[in-house]
Amino acid sequence: MQEHRILVVGSSNTDMVIKTEHLPRPGETVLGGTFFMNPGGKGANQAVAISRLGGKVSFVCKTGSDIFGHQSQQLFEEEGIDTSYIFSDPNHPSGVALITVDAHAENCIVVASGANANLLPSDLAQAIEAIDEADLILMQLEIPMETVEYVAEIAYRKNKKVILNPAPACPLPSSLLQHLYMITPNETEAEMISGIKITDEISAGEAAKRISDMGVQCVIITLGSKGALVYQDSVVDIIPALKVNAVDTTAAGDIFNGALTVALSEGRDLPDAVRFACKASAISVTRVGAQSSAPYRNEVDIFG
């Protein structure tokens, strides 16, 4: 089996998590929570997931020149990620996320982007070699849109496959969509991109078709506990989720995207790759934390 190299361009945060009975309403203080501090950030979560699942991965991000940044670099190296293109920013702190998780595993998150917001095209110009070496490039939207567009355009010109996880939700330039091989929105993000309200599998399929018509070759809409919708070559396929007892959904989408990219790098067809990703994501929601919830390859292979 030939493995292709993966490049992740994205964010690195430190997650400060409080588990509590219910999410606070505006002005409400909720006592009795349990505190955890975990490494996070969508880009970092995806890079760690890829490495744990056996993918060869390089990571481009920017951290602050502070304790969180130093800890992140060390953790990435321990996870087996190529850290050659991690930039240190002397002027901005490392990104942090404040996360509250309730008794039903729902969460709300506030992010202070810090150095992530200063990962600029000029930085990526110093990491062209990483783009050259990669076959698949995975990005998210916790870094500046201009940087995402810059990488997508260069990668497209070099015939690389660019996968965008369009989270957090925001409007996307049409030129960016035309440079993507695949996009992996959840229902909210798919509604924003397509303009179609998703209420069931039929409307989800219509949204996927409209996004594909904008220039993206493959569209995968994640449907939470219902699984994922795959749209390719005008065909809709629903891949069901596996039933598990969820305790924390914080990084489920990131684990899904990392696992999907690994499976594609191994040459699996799209439905099979999505099944693999659904397995990895299902395991992750049974665990607390972001990167700490990412499963290892042997766990996914024997699951379900």
pLDDT (mean) for 87-111? 92
Q: Is 227 annotated as a binding residue?
A: yes
Query: Using one digit for the tens of pLDDT, what is the confidence trace for 145-162?
Result: 999 999 999 999 999 999
Q: Tell me: the pLDDT tens digits for 170-193? A: 999 999 999 999 999 999 999 999
Whether 110 is covered by a domain: the verdict is no
Residue 21 resides in a domain? no
Residue-wise pLDDT for 254-275, tens only, equals: 999 999 999 999 999 999 999 9
Q: Count the domains in the chain.
A: 1
Give the whole-angstrom CA distance, residue 177 versus residue 239.
Answer: 24
Q: So what's the pLDDT on residue 266?
A: 96
pTM for the full predicted model: 0.93
Domain-located, residue 216: yes
pLDDT mean over 193-197: 97
106 occurs within a structural domain = no
Residue 228 is labelled as binding a ligand: no
**pLDDT band per the 50, 70, 90 thresholds, residue 24:** very high
Question: Active-site positions?
Answer: 254
* Residue 44 annotated in ligand binding: yes
Q: How confident is the model at residue 3 (pLDDT cuts 50, 70, 90)?
A: low
Q: How far does CA 164 lie from the centroid of its chain? A: 8
Give residue 253's pLDDT.
Answer: 94
pLDDT, residue 279, reads 96
82 marked as binding residue: no
- Which segments of 11-62 does DSSP mark as H helices, in order? 42-52
- Please indicate, yes or no, if residue 266 is contained in any of the structural domains: yes
Residue 118 in marked binding region? no
Q: What is the mean pLDDT of residues 9-28?
A: 94
Q: Is the dihedral of CA 178, 61, 83, 14 positive or negative?
A: negative
Render pLDDT for 107-148 as a digit per residue (tens, 0 to 9): 888 889 999 999 999 999 999 999 999 999 999 999 999 999
- Amino acid at site 284: S
Tell whether residue 113 is among the known ligand binding residues: no
Which pLDDT does position 248 carry in this prediction? 81
pLDDT in tens, 274-304: 999 999 999 999 998 788 899 999 999 998 6
Q: In the predicted model, is pLDDT for residue 28 greater than 80?
A: yes
> Could you tell me if residue 138 is inside a domain?
yes
Domain that holds residue 190: 6-10+41-93+116-302
pLDDT, residue 1, reads: 52
d(CA 78, CA 199) in angstroms, rounded, equals: 43
CATH number, residue 190: 3.40.1190.20
What do you get for the CA distance between the two ends of the chain, in Å?
23
- The pLDDT > 90 percentage for the chain reads 86
How much is the pLDDT for 207?
A: 98
